[in-house]
């Protein structure tokens, strides 16, 4: 069956990925045993490292730093060629000279999350106790753990208060966690297409992806590197499930409808007759080249566990009590993974906390993925919000 080949690319960069996990093509902040990362599960993780990229220059009074938090399958390579795929940075529409996250004006930082696979310590990293990849011996991490690690990086960089923390989807969760955990260190916050907790439907989609990975015999209980394998088929299926949730029904209809792939009539076979099938197969097979299957398990789990209100007696407003951070909450009308109602609930809680908040519900049919796409209204809002925050903090426009 040719179908199997379509999601089982032979070009998996296993060695490249393994190398990146320990020796990233990035800046690296290393933390020794005297500076453990205190995880929510009770484990002190040490030593550990954080891989990160920066763009632009930190100004003299260290007031122009913006932290970007990446999404589930993102990484620190926001605005440079990706070291494994060779593709452009994942947010080069938003970050760059003259763009809303203006690298000629701001000092932009993005770090790979703890649990990731691009150089921050995670299940693909070498466990110093064994000399082999951590695999499932890596402790379960949470969104607060990711943010705690980022705060240690920001300390290391000598920055007390960030001009802004910005991110979409899982990145938006981190933005919110930053404001809840370190309100005095976040001058402004731009959470995009996210929620303060993961819904049952979102947990269900993640569980589907995890089961697809763990059902792949090449997963070997997470010890696939020892077996010279990678559960690329299960991971590709997990990615396909994710991709369906990132697009709206309308976007899928507009992009593909029921159009056939290079043919006019059905083949009466299990070939990818429809364009949407080819698209999903491609998304699955290209993803497995760059991403680690165990990382996918850990990061989806972290998102599932996320629930800010739960740590505050189930009253969301308490999480933001007395906060001075300026918020701009952005949602997209056709996002069904993080529906705009979730953002509205967040805005209500912020209002109840007397926080400064603006809310932009952007009309688009492009679904959750809109935060990664060229959506001019969104760009204008982000630009204006950051410029306004910069002015309030005494930044001169233009750097």
User: Annotated catalytic sites, by residue?
Assistant: 169, 335, 368
Distance CA 189, CA 154 (A): 16
Residue 102 or 277 with smaller CB distance to a copy of itself: 277
Residue 305 in contact with a copy of itself, rule: CB under 8 A = yes
One of 80, 199, 351, 358 touching a copy of itself (CB under 8 A)? 199
Residue 214 in contact with a copy of itself, rule: CB under 8 A = yes
Residue 258 in contact with a copy of itself, rule: CB under 8 A = yes
Residue 207 or 380 with smaller CB distance to a copy of itself: 207
Distance CA 121, CA 160 (A): 24
Residue 284 in contact with a copy of itself, rule: CB under 8 A = yes
Q: How many residues does the chain have?
A: 399
One of 20, 277, 292, 369 touching a copy of itself (CB under 8 A)? 277
Cα–Cα distance list, 130 to 137, 165, 233, 291 (Å):
11, 36, 28, 23
Q: Which of 143, 55, 72 is nearest to 297 (CA)?
A: 72
Residue 241 in contact with a copy of itself, rule: CB under 8 A = yes
Residue 197 in contact with a copy of itself, rule: CB under 8 A = yes
| Helices assigned H by DSSP within 247-364 | 249-255, 275-290, 293-305, 340-352
By CB under 8 A, what part of segment 35-54 binds a copy of itself?
40-42
Coil, helix or strand at residue 233: helix
Q: Which of 161, 158, 208 is nearest to 184 (CA)?
A: 161
Q: Which helix (H) or strand (E) holds 358?
A: strand 356-362
Residue 216 in contact with a copy of itself, rule: CB under 8 A = yes
Q: Which helix (H) or strand (E) holds 69?
A: strand 65-69
Query: Sign (positive/negative) of CA torsion 17, 23, 27, 33?
Result: positive
Q: Of the ranges 70-78, 112-120, 252-260, 357-365, which one interacts with a copy of itself (CB under 8 A)? A: 252-260
> Do 163 and 257 touch, CB atoms closer than 8 A?
no
Residue 345 in contact with a copy of itself, rule: CB under 8 A = no
Residue 203 in contact with a copy of itself, rule: CB under 8 A = yes
Residue 1 in contact with a copy of itself, rule: CB under 8 A = yes
Write out the residues near a copy of itself by the rule CB under 8 A. 1, 3-4, 7-8, 40-42, 136, 139-140, 197-201, 203-205, 207-208, 210-212, 214-217, 221-222, 233-234, 236-237, 240-241, 244, 247, 249, 252-253, 255-258, 266, 268-270, 272-274, 276-277, 280-281, 284, 297, 301, 304-305, 307, 310, 336, 339
């Amino acid at each position: 069956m040719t179908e199997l080949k379509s999601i089982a690319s032979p070009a998996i960069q296993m060695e490249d990925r393994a190398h990146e996990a320990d020796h990233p093509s990035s800046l690296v902040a290393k933390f020794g045993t005297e500076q453990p990362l205190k995880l929510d599960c009770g484990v002190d993780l040490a030593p550990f490292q954080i891989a990160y990229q920066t763009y632009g220059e930190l100004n003299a009074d260290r007031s122009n730093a913006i932290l970007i938090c990446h999404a589930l399958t993102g990484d620190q390579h926001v605005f440079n060629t990706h070291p494994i795929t060779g593709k452009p940075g994942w947010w080069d529409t938003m970050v760059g000279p003259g763009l809303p996250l203006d690298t000629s004006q701001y000092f932009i930082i993005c770090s790979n999350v703890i649990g990731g696979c691009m150089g921050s310590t995670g299940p693909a990293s070498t466990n110093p106790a064994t000399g082999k990849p951590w695999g499932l011996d890596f402790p379960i991490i949470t969104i607060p753990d990711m943010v705690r690690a980022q705060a240690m990086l920001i300390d290391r960089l000598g920055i007390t208060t960030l001009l802004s923390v910005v991110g979409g989807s899982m990145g938006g969760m981190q933005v919110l966690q930053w404001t809840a955990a370190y309100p005095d260190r976040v001058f402004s916050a731009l959470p995009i297409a996210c929620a303060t907790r993961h819904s049952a439907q979102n947990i269900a989609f993640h569980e589907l992806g995890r089961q697809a990975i763990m059902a792949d015999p090449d997963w070997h209980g997470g010890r696939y590197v020892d077996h010279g394998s990678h559960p690329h088929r299960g991971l590709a299926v997990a990615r396909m499930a994710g991709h369906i949730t990132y697009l709206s029904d309308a976007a899928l209809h507009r992009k593909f409808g029921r159009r056939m792939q290079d043919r006019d009539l059905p083949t009466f076979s299990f070939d990818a007759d429809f364009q949407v099938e080819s698209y999903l197969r491609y998304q699955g097979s290209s993803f497995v080249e760059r991403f680690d299957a165990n990382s996918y398990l850990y990061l989806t789990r972290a998102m599932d566990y996320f629930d800010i209100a739960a740590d505050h007696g189930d009253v969301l407003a308490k999480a933001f009590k007395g906060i001075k951070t300026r918020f701009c909450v952005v949602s997209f009308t056709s996002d069904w993974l993080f529906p705009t109602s979730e953002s509205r609930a967040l805005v209500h809680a912020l209002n109840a906390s007397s926080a400064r908040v603006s809310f932009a519900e952007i009309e688009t049919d492009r679904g959750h993925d809109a935060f990664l796409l060229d959506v001019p209204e969104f760009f204008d809002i982000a630009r204006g919000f950051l410029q306004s925050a910069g002015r309030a903090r005494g930044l001169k426009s233009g750097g």
